[in-house]
Amino acid sequence: MGAAQRGSGAPARTRLQTPGQTVGPFFAFGLDSERKHEVVFPHSPGAILLGGTVRDGAGDPIPDAVVEIWQADGDGRIPRARGFLHRDGHTFTGFGRSFTSDEGRYEFWTRDPGSVAGEAPFFAAVVFARGLPDKLHTRIYLPEGEERLAADPLLASLTPKERATLVATRTPEGYLQHDIHLQGGKETVFLAYG
């Protein structure tokens, strides 16, 4: 029963919906921590640099986005170690966070992930940026292992153009390069969970 029907004589109250808010741009409050982008110690054995640029629909870099990654270790094990806020320089936590530079660039010191359950190895990635009503989930796959890439259930469900938005490029130094496009003709494939 509404308030007006309870006999109180007061008119029924209507509640206005609070307007939506976008993610950001004030990410530093509560998200920043020392060495947040170092999933592994830089230049340690097997360490690589995973980096790229976050771009808007016009292809322009986004200077105040945040990219987070989660990954398995090289053997495909999901890390259970704690320590993101106070990295000790040797414990692999499988999680990192990178704020983009003024040029929209993000970077992580990490290692190639292994396959968890036989699928193609990938980094799970989340992007926060101003103007987004919520965070965006995506994946960044290693470029090697064409058979695994072709058999991966997610990649197999995509067109070749869509698939290309999820597979990183290996640089001559052995690092990984991967741009993330939030909109436009090169829009990255984003995943919905529900």
Question: How high does pLDDT run on average in the chain?
Answer: 86
Task: Identify the pLDDT of residue 55.
Answer: 97
Q: In the chain, what are the domains?
A: 23-181 (2.60.130.10)
Mean pLDDT in residue range 68-84: 87
Look at residue 92 in the predicted model and tell me its pLDDT. Answer: 82
> pLDDT tens across 126-179, in order?
999 888 888 999 999 999 999 999 999 999 999 999 999 999 999 999 999 999
Residue 113 in tokens: 């992930």
Does pLDDT of 2 surpass 60? Answer: no
The reported pTM is: 0.83
Quote the pLDDT of residue 27.
54
Per-residue pLDDT tens over the stretch 39-67: 998 988 999 999 999 999 999 999 989 99
